Amino acid sequence: MKASPILAAVAALISLSLPGCQTHEERTESGHQKVIVTSPKVADVTLTQQYVCQIHSQRHIKVKALMGGYLDPIKVKEGQAVKEGQLLFQILPTLYKAKLDAEVAEARLAELELKNTKGLYDKGVVSIQQVMLYEAKLAKAQAKAELAKAEMKFTEIRAPFDGIIDRLHEMQGSLIKEGDSLTTLCDNSVMWVYFNVPEAFYYKYMNSSDQEKEDQRIELQLANGSKLTDKSTGKVIAGKIAAIEAKFNNETGTATFRADFPNPDSLLRYGMTGNVLIHKVAKNATVIPQRATFEILEKRYVFVLDKDVVRQREIVVRNEMQDVYVLKSGLDLKDRFIFEGVRQVRDGDTLEGYDFRPPEQVLAHQNYHAE
């Protein structure tokens, strides 16, 4: 069946509007910008790997009652910073003090009895066995006095280390029993940051040299997007990998690493989340601008000039930065590729009248930072 004249005219207009239906000369004359060509650049580039993390305190313990009884006035408040040895809670000590006084009195009485018995032994009135009996009685009484003294100390609950008091679970006057949890104490001077990495990263890390591990810089990105920084110096705080868990998670195929970060301003708290950033310098990496590439069926390509003829070539990206790609393969330093005007050409075009710009000049306008 013969096509309608109207449909034919529409098809002609569409064909004229498509860049792929025009020659390179026609596209240039129709007002398109001039094509700019450049080359890859080799440089030392800082690559960053990012992992979601959970932030824990270096020490995080439950403070529990060692004895039962009624709570005296509580000496601390929620969220308060305390020092090692500082009194936190005290159980009403009346009964324990009375028991201590009684046991101390018994020990003194046994001491007097032993003294009198020794005097009688010196006069030949009693035997040595009688003296030994009263010595044992004194030792028993002293042991009971020491036990009562320890129980008296158990009525005072003191901080085992410097830290921050969490929520109070009991209030003044509460009747508590041995083992009841009163609060939680966190030592936030150093934070333990846990993050999961794939097995490939684990093997790469374990096979790297000590120097390569030292060259890595580890930073902590907080939930608001900022990095953990020391306010006194204004510098970003660097952490270090301190431990690797003994087992893998075979469901996710990951291993858990732990990085330690100083917390000089006490900004970090137990239970926070963030991202661990691991920076590593890639020596002599091949770098090209992202805008010079295009994607077809999940593969990435550039237009390379072969004696002024445009050739489509696949590239393999090693790492993606904000404005540039670090290549694994696909281009050599001697290659020339189209930087601007990618949409104005197609595979097989003969390119004339283009401008060449050095890669240093092209990459200077990108968000690109080399070490």
Domains in the chain: how many in total? 3
Residues 83 and 137 in one domain: yes
Residues 245 and 289 in one domain: no
Domain CATH number, residue 355: 2.40.420.20
Residues 278 and 290 in one domain: no
Q: What is the DSSP string of 268-316?
A: --TT-EEEEEEEEEEEEEEEEEGGG-EEETTEEEEEEEETTEEEEEEEE
Domain CATH number, residue 93: 1.10.287.470
> 91 near 71, Cβ under 8 Å?
yes
Residues 203 and 350 in one domain: no
What is the model's pLDDT at position 366? Answer: 61
Domain's final residue, options 283, 314, 331: 283
Residues 75 and 181 in one domain: yes
Residue ranges of the chain with per-residue pLDDT less than 50:
1-30, 370-371
Q: What is the DSSP string of 171-185?
A: -TT-EE-TT-EEEEE
Residues 156 and 167 in one domain: yes
- Domain of residue 307 covers 22-42+284-363
What is the model's pLDDT at position 365? Answer: 63
CA distance 211 to 198: 22
Structure tokens at 299: 């593969």
What is the model's pLDDT at position 32? Answer: 59
pLDDT digits (tens, 9 = 90+) for 75-113: 899 999 999 999 999 888 777 778 888 989 998 999 999
Strands (E), the chain: 36-38, 41-64, 69-70, 81-82, 87-90, 156-158, 163-165, 175-176, 181-198, 217-222, 240-249, 254-262, 273-289, 294-296, 299-306, 309-320, 324-329, 337-340, 355-356
What is the model's pLDDT at position 44? Answer: 86
CA distance 159 to 86: 5
Residues 121 and 168 in one domain: yes
25 phi/psi in degrees, rounded to 5: -65, -40
Helices 128-154 and 94-122, interaxial angle, to 10°? 160
Domain CATH number, residue 231: 2.40.30.170
Structure tokens at 190: 């150093």
What is the model's pLDDT at position 16? Answer: 37
What is the model's pLDDT at position 367? Answer: 55
Pairing mode, strands 163-165 and 81-82: antiparallel
pTM above 0.85, yes or no: no
Residue 371 lies in a domain: no
